[in-house]
């Protein structure tokens, strides 16, 4: 069943709304190139919309009720927002879930070294990337360095036009005959993906007599002067190397967005935006959950496999209905969820990787995957048809454009989201999201129409699921 482009149904008012939402989305991307930065933005947006920290409400021993808006943060890298509904919490929630980590290159704990008069940071890539795509591109450095006294230095270098960028160098084509004979996966190796950060030596007058690496010393001097950090502070740092520059309109018609990190911040932003639009309590409690570590298996304390979300629900149950293990389990089991993550947009230049009838297309609205996984549905959540029919009715009534798809041909590859983790509670959950071109590349492409339709679809879900 072929879906149609959403662009044809918009009038002037809808186009104006679309552009306004996409402008906010681009700002969100620019200011949120790490999961920490995304949580900072989400928390600020939530507070402006009247949300308060759950722990603050609990310390005040407030009896929470319909309409109350609370949120909780886990280690500054995951966040969950709740707006309490008219129905008791154990009757379930309408949940929007997405992840805010993106493929990138991380700085190692003993990273700084000098080789032949050039200074580098040693790295370890994060998530699934084509390493050759990351060379000869302007890069920025984002993150934190935590000193032994506990003070935190926020690091951001390379985003302002007044600041220098950094780069992963590549071999010139004139000498690359042997390199170009290699398979794409081996053209650039993980250990060879080191960030070039300096070439100028520290002045001899400032150089320690025992220091022989003057360029490396100069880099340390700059970091000391700007941030007050020492080399040892790399040990307790979390530094991420990401493409420098802002999200931009793409295409001569300005109909698309080109930006880093749209997997999965496009779903995170649209879910958060939809959640914050609800001023009045709904029948069911609504929830927006933005988590870390999806790109590496949802592991760790800030990933979906941790108990952060379940603990927050248990606290809410205690504050609304009285502490109850059973009611906490029922709240999770009776919930409905959209596990929002991006889909592979059909690219006619690489048509051989797609089965066209089951592909997602840019500008045709929200995407739904009944199942994900790989090949024989390995690692998949497989949504119930009754739940899908219910969602179809909701979306059709709200005039939301949507499409059902798969991630490429059956035996070509695959992927997954946090859906299977949430499904273990017994809740109804399906993978949904937005189609992207060049997923996991330094710069990904989305359609503005799909951003707009996702916001509409997520609002309809929160209101009526």
Mean pLDDT over all residues of the chain? 93
374 pLDDT above the threshold of 80: no
151 lies in the same domain as 194: yes
Q: Does residue 13 belong to any structural domain of this protein?
A: yes
pTM of the model: 0.95
Mean pLDDT, rounded, for 399-414? 79
28 lies in the same domain as 39: yes
239 lies in the same domain as 200: yes
Q: Give the CA distances from residue 298 to residues 99, 291, 328, 353, 423, in Å, rounded to whole numbers and listed in that order.
A: 9, 8, 22, 27, 14
Q: What dihedral do alpha carbons 322, 43, 75, 145 form, nearest 10°?
A: -160
Residues 6+ apart with CB under 8 A from 127: 101, 102, 103, 104, 295, 296, 440
96 lies in the same domain as 154: no
Mean pLDDT, rounded, for 269-284? 92
Q: How many CB atoms lie within 10 A of CB 131?
A: 18
408 lies in the same domain as 430: yes
416 pLDDT above the threshold of 80: no
382 lies in the same domain as 395: yes
Q: What confidence category does residue 208 fall into, taking pLDDT thresholds of 50, 70 and 90?
A: confident
Among 22-36, 242-256, 296-310, 411-425, the minimum mean pLDDT is found in 411-425
Range of the domain at 175: 104-243
d(CA 428, CA 433): 16
Better pLDDT: 216 or 416: 216
CATH number at residue 421: 3.40.630.10
Q: CB-side exposure of 129: number of CA atoms within 13 Å?
A: 26
Mean pLDDT, rounded, for 49-59? 94
H/E stretch holding 223: helix 214-227
84 lies in the same domain as 114: no
Instruction: Please give the pLDDT value at position 97.
Output: 96
Would you put residue 90 in left (φ > 0), alpha (ψ -120 to 50) or beta? alpha
CATH number at residue 127: 2.30.250.10
Q: What confidence category does residue 207 fall into, taking pLDDT thresholds of 50, 70 and 90?
A: confident
308 lies in the same domain as 393: yes
Domain boundary among 179, 214, 243: 243
């Amino acid at each position: 069943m072929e879906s149609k482009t959403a662009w044809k149904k918009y009038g002037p008012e809808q186009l104006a709304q679309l552009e306004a939402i996409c402008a906010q989305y681009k700002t969100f991307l620019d200011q949120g190139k790490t999961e920490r930065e995304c949580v900072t933005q989400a928390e600020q947006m939530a507070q402006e919309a009247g949300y308060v920290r759950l722990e603050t409400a609990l310390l005040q021993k407030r009896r929470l009720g319909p309409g109350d808006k609370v949120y909780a943060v886990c280690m500054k890298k995951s966040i969950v927002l709740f707006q309490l509904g008219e129905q008791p919490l154990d009757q379930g929630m309408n949940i929007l879930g997405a992840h805010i980590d993106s493929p990138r290159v991380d700085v190692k704990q003993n990273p700084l070294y000098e080789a032949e008069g050039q200074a580098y940071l040693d790295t370890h890539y994060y998530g699934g990337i084509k390493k050759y795509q990351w060379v000869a591109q302007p890069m920025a450095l984002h993150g934190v360095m935590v000193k032994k006294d506990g003070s935190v230095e926020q690091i951001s270098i390379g985003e302002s036009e007044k600041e220098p960028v950094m780069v992963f160098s590549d071999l010139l084509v004139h000498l690359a005959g042997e390199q170009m004979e290699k398979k794409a996966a081996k053209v650039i190796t993980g250990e060879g993906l080191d960030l070039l950060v300096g070439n100028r030596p520290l002045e001899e007058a400032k150089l320690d007599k025992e220091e022989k690496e003057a360029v490396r010393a100069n880099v340390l001097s700059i970091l000391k002067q700007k941030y007050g950090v020492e080399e040892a502070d790399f040990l307790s740092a979390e530094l991420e190397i990401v493409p420098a520059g802002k999200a931009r309109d793409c295409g001569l018609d300005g109909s698309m967005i080109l930006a880093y990190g749209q997997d999965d911040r496009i779903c995170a932003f649209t879910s958060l935006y939809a959640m914050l639009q609800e001023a009045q309590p709904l029948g069911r409690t609504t929830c927006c959950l933005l988590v870390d570590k999806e790109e590496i298996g949802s592991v760790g304390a800030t990933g979906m496999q941790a108990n952060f979300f379940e603990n927050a629900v248990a606290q809410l149950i205690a504050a609304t209905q009285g502490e109850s293990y059973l009611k906490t389990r029922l709240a999770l089991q009776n919930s409905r969820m959209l596990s929002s993550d991006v889909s592979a947009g059909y690219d006619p230049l690489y048509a051989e990787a797609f089965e066209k009838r089951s592909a997602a297309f840019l500008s045709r609205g929200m995407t739904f995957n009944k199942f994900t996984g790989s090949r024989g549905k390995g690692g998949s959540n497989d949504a119930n048809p009754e739940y899908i029919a219910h969602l179809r009715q909701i979306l059709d009534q709200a005039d939301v454009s949507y499409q059902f798809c798969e991630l490429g041909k059956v035996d070509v590859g695959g992927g997954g989201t946090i859906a299977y983790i949430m499904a273990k509670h017994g809740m109804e959950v399906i993978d949904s999201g937005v189609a992207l071109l060049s997923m996991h590349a330094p710069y990904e492409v989305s359609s503005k129409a799909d951003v707009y339709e996702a916001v509409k679809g997520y609002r309809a879900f929160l209101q009526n699921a």
